[in-house]
Amino acid sequence: MAKTDHQVFISFRGADVRKNFLSFLTDGLKRACVNYYVDTKETKGEVLDILLQRIQESRLVLIILSENYMQSNWCIKELRTTTKDIKVSRRKVIPIFYNVQVADVKDKWKVGEQAEGVEGEETVEEREKNVKEALMILTRHMGMRSDEYGTDCEFIEHIVKEVKKVLTSIEQEEKVKASVNTTVRSEGEKQEVSSLTGTNLPGEGEELETKENVKFFGITQRLQKLQEKLGMHGVVSKETRIIGVLGMAGIGKTTIAHKLFEEGKNKFHQRMFFDDIDKTSKEEGLTELRVRLLRKLLKKTDKTITEETTHESVETELLDSNVFLVLDNVSNKKQLEYLLGNRRWISQGSKVVIVTSDKSLVEDVVSDTYVVPGLNEKEGLECFCYHAFGDHKVHEGSLMKQSREFVDYARGNPLALKVLGPELRGRDKAHWESKLLQLAQSPSNVLNVSYDGLSQQQKEAFLDVTCFFRSENHKFVTALVDSEPDKGSSEIRDLADKFLIDITGGRVEMHNLLYTLGKKLASKQQKRLCNHHEIIRALKKKTVRTN
């Protein structure tokens, strides 16, 4: 089925229900976060055949059978399109009998006088027969009758509940089918690859595999924690929540945010995953961030969005729908100012996720934060084996000791393991040991971007901590390293906010990957000598430079 922004198509006779029953029904669907389609949502000037295409794109069709439904050629076309391939499609249909009797629809209804005539190559008799068959197919489906309810309000309430129930059922069926397809495809891949490598690829029951084909172990627990903070675990809460997803580079922030978005997007009227905001901001400017966001959220309205458009100028339209928004890779506060404005436009029940490696950016914006933890030892070994051996099973062979050393080096960073694994796959023990020695002197480049984004003073502080102050007392290091403490600034605090150092038990600690990176950078610059070998070498050459 084609991807679409609506889940439910509503077929109706405008003269009968547009200004009353339909209006109340769409309000009910909207409040229940069901994305529906009616012909008023189509751009003026579109060919009417587009309506039939919208039926094909929908998961569920509601056909409101009212007194004059059969007087409309378009209603009849929608009826026939809906029932034509209903047996083989995954699309569901619910007939709504509004002030009409089921028996009359089944036995007495026919093409109305206003809709009579020949359609295409059909004769009048053929058309009558085909329409009758469509009505018979429709009435075989379990429908809902207005005469069983006391008021339209009560009737609509039950329709909305049934729609939600059917959509949930469809989603579950699709997940099961996707799981089966994945398993079948995986089994085929296992046979093909195992014949070449003698290894087994992961099968059913594994953790998430993203669109980039990067497996993320342990995502289930992390995703649940994030959903709980947002009020999205199970039934979505009506509370508006803005959450910061934080952590060092490569820890899996974006992967988790993607999974969160895919699982939750259909529960909101408007949704957007804004990918790599830092890159867009640098390449296209800050204003483009706001323009893209507003165009996406207001694309179903007739509002024209320009560079001058602000959140305040379209606040009324924005407040009309709840929003699920993920802002990925935010790198400075200006980006948030252009993307979120004064935040008064964010409607009740909306959820906003800000993904960043800098805690200080979201301190005054979010209602809570979620720091993505690194992989534990078990998850780390499974992740490493997946990339180094082609399966997630821990290999208790001749390379087990080296495998654990690589996992210890990465200290729970899945991106580092993903980069290391393919470099080692199929290589012998000597190569693995050589790589371990190499990493101790020259780290992977996965974290360079974190260092490159620092100010000059922050870079100097990072290198000072690397060379002289790792595991030293926090207050002692702060007093020595901070350049302008009397002005309220602190490079040590900045580095901690950016997850480049960690304040633990009153001491300044640093991740192994970052420590190795810092030593390499310091050695290149020759401003700091980090070990006795460098000091002796520099003294012999008399090339020591002072700051």
Provide the pairing of β-strand 208-209 with 215-216: antiparallel
Amino acid identity at 464: D
Q: Which two tokens stand for residue 418?
A: 């993903």
Burial of 414 from C-beta contacts in 10 A (0-12 / 13-18 / 19+): buried
What's the rounded Cα separation, in Å, for the pair 347 and 305?
A: 19
What is the residue type of 224?
A: Q
Distance of CA 27 to the CA centre of its chain: 27
Cβ(83)–Cβ(35) below 8 Å: no
CA atoms within 13 A on the CB side of 101: 4
H helix or E strand, kind and range, residue 169: helix 152-197
**For residues 465 and 115, what is the distance between their CA atoms, to the nearest angstrom?**
82
Pairwise CA distance, residues 371 & 252, whole Å: 10
Nearest to 367 by CA among 260, 247, 243, 231: 243
Query: What sections of 50-151 are H helices per DSSP?
Result: 50-57, 73-84, 102-107, 124-139
CA-nearest of 91, 179, 185, 68 to 137 is 91
What tokens appear for 21 in the block? 């029953």
The C-alpha atoms of residue 83 and residue 126 are separated, in whole angstroms, by 16
Q: Catalytic annotation on 78? A: yes
C-alpha 327/C-alpha 527 separation (Å) is 38
Element (H, E) at 61: strand 60-65
Length of the chain: 547
Out of 78, 379, 382, 460, the active site residue is: 78
Catalytic machinery residues = 78
